[in-house]
Amino acid sequence: MVYSYFPGCTLRAKAKGFDSSALASCKVLGVYLEELEEWQCCGATFPLQIDNSFPLVSPARTLAAAKKAGRKLTTLCSACYNVLKRTNHVLREDLDKRNKVCTFIEEDYFGDLEILHLLEILRDEIGFASLAEKIVKPFSGFPVAAYYGCLLLRPPEEVGFDDPEAPRILEDLLFALGCSPVDHPYKTECCGSYVVLQPGEPTASPSRLIVESAKSRGARAIVTSCPLCQFNLDYVQSGDVERGENAVPVVYFTQLLAMALGFGEEVLQFDGHLVPPGPVFRSAGVGGCEGAT
Partner 1 sequence: MKLSREIIATEDKRKLQDISGEEVLSCYQCGKCSAGCAMTSAMDLLPHQVIRLLQLGQVEDALRSQTIWVCASCLACSTRCPRGMSLPNVMESLRSTFLRPGDRCLNPADIPYELLEILPEQALVAAFRKYT
Q: Which residues contact 232 (CB under 8 A, 6 or more apart)?
A: 191, 192, 193, 196, 205, 207
- State yes or no: cis peptide before 277, omega within 30 of 0: no
Q: How far is the CB of 145 from partner 1 (least distance, A)?
A: 17
Cβ-based burial of 190 (10 A; exposed 0-12, middle 13-18, buried ≥19): middle
Q: How far is the CB of 230 from partner 1 (least distance, A)?
A: 8
Binding site for partner 1 (CB under 8 A): 8-10, 13-15, 41, 43-45, 48-52, 55, 77, 79, 149-150, 153-156, 164, 188-200, 203-204, 206, 227-228, 230-231, 235, 272, 274
Q: Name the residue nearer to partner 1 (CB basis): 129 or 243.
A: 243
Q: 35: which strand partners?
A: 5
Q: How far is the CB of 59 from partner 1 (least distance, A)?
A: 12
Q: Name the residue nearer to partner 1 (CB basis): 25 or 58.
A: 58
Q: Which residues contact 70 (CB under 8 A, 6 or more apart)?
A: none
Residue 235 to residue 258: CA distance in whole angstroms: 24
Q: Name the residue nearer to partner 1 (CB basis): 9 or 126.
A: 9
HSE-CB at 191 with a 13 A cutoff on CA atoms is 29
Cβ-based burial of 105 (10 A; exposed 0-12, middle 13-18, buried ≥19): middle
Residue 198 region by backbone torsions, left for phi larger than 0, else alpha for psi between -120 and 50, else beta: beta
Q: Name the residue nearer to partner 1 (CB basis): 44 or 247.
A: 44
Q: How far is the CB of 3 from partner 1 (least distance, A)?
A: 22
The secondary structure element, H or E, covering residue 151 is: none
Separation of first and last alpha carbons in the chain = 32
Q: How far is the CB of 105 from partner 1 (least distance, A)?
A: 19
Q: Name the residue nearer to partner 1 (CB basis): 29 or 213.
A: 213
Q: Name the residue nearer to partner 1 (CB basis): 29 or 274.
A: 274
> Among candidates 113, 71, 117, which has minimal Cα distance to 91?
113
Backbone dihedral angles phi then psi of residue 289, each to the nearest 5 degrees: -100, 25
Q: How far is the CB of 193 from partner 1 (least distance, A)?
A: 4
Q: How far is the CB of 246 from partner 1 (least distance, A)?
A: 22
Q: Are 75 and 5 in contact (CB under 8 A)?
A: yes
Q: How far is the CB of 67 from partner 1 (least distance, A)?
A: 24
Q: Name the residue nearer to partner 1 (CB basis): 79 or 223.
A: 79
Residue 203 to residue 201: CA distance in whole angstroms: 6
Q: Name the residue nearer to partner 1 (CB basis): 8 or 287.
A: 8
